[in-house]
Structure 1
Amino acid sequence: MTVFVAYAHTPEGQAALERGAQISRREQLPLVVFDLEAASDAPDRSIPATVPLPDGEGLDVRWLARDARSNDATGELIDLVHTVEPDVVVVGVRPRTSVGKFLLGSNAQRIIIDSPAPVLAVKADRHEK
């Protein structure tokens, strides 16, 4: 089985990556990181690690990128979750206003609702800048 992280280049994405790495290490499971902002033309979407993992030495990590031709990274992520069949999907979340929720929707909410695997939603440490 696997730990699957939805990674964005934000404090929330970093929090998700750190928690996913902790779970991977504790449970001795491979870690798959889907970089929502990186794009790849490679058929398997594998990319080199784009961010160093905190205490990542010894982890079995596979980095994936969205399809460069796609405009729906969240949809791709859901498709990959169906394929990978992870034990857990880790996603970073942040507070939003009611208007922001109404106008913009939420990628995290879509992942939580549409994921066939359990989803762990984590917040960034509010004291870090």
Structure 2
Amino acid sequence: MVILTAIDRDPGCKGVVETAYDLATKMDMKLVILHVVPEDEDEEAARREIEDIVMSVIGDLEGIDLRIMPEQTRRDLPTGRTANHILQVAEELDPDYIVIGSRKRTGLGKILLGSVSKLILANADVPVVTVEQTRKAEA
């Protein structure tokens, strides 16, 4: 049994990691934490930042399957490449749940397409838990 959580490099995603870890621990499930590195970002720097975020919440990486995946340009996916990479990993892992962050949007932002969380919610084959992701890390 597996919980897949996808996070970005924003320290505001600590609540997402905490929720996924709590669920995995309480339900005795394996936790896979995924970060898709955008093409224009440094993969090693991203790994260090993601490790720091996870360690600040959990304390260590023992027992955590941490995956850092470079985003790849696909001509058949003009938008939503990150979401599609997450869904691809979900298809391979066949998790019981996906845990993702979602930022509050207002006005026009609520109806614009392209949000990773909206694409995951609309296309995942398993239940998706969304956690409000703060804009900045909480003290």
TM over 0.5: yes
Partner of 1:74: 83
- Please give the TM-score of this superposition, normalised by the length of structure 2: 0.72
- Once the two structures are TM-superposed, the CA of residue 25 in structure 1 deviates from its matched residue by 1.1
The worse-fitting range, judged by mean Cα deviation, of 93-102 and 50-59 is: 50-59
The residue aligned with 1:86 is 95
Which residue is 2:51 aligned to? Answer: 50
The count of aligned residue pairs is 124
Name the structure where strand makes up a greater proportion of residues. 1
Aligned partners of 1:12 and 1:122 also within 8 Å: no
* Length-normalised TM-score, structure 1: 0.77
Q: How does 1:5-16 map to 2 (within 5 A)?
A: 5-16=5-16
How big is each residue's C-alpha offset from its partner over 1:103-128, in whole Å with a ceiling of 9 and x where there is no partner?
Answer: 45311011111111100011146893
Contact kept? 1:9, 1:37, Cα under 8 Å: no
Is the alpha carbon distance of 1:76 and 1:58 closer, same or farther for their aligned partners in structure 2, counting shifts above 3 Å? closer
Distance 1:63 1:55, change over 3 A: closer
Q: Is the 8 A contact 1:6 1:34 kept in 2?
A: yes
What CA distance in whole angstroms lies between the structure 1 residues aligned with 2:60 and 2:13? 20
Q: Which amino acid aligns with 2:64?
A: V
Instruction: List runs of 5+ in structure 2 lacking aligned partners.
Output: 75-80
The farther-off stretch of 11-20 and 86-95 is 11-20
**One-letter amino acid of the structure 2 residue matched with residue 111 of structure 1:** I
Which of these residues, 114, 117, 120, is aligned with residue 105 of structure 1? 114
Q: Identify if the C-alpha distance between structure 1 residues 108 and 25 changes in structure 2 by more than 3 Å, giving closer, same or farther.
A: same
CA RMSD of superposed structures (Å): 3.0
User: Which protein is richer in helix relative to its size?
Assistant: 2
C-alpha deviation, 1:36, in angstroms: 2.9
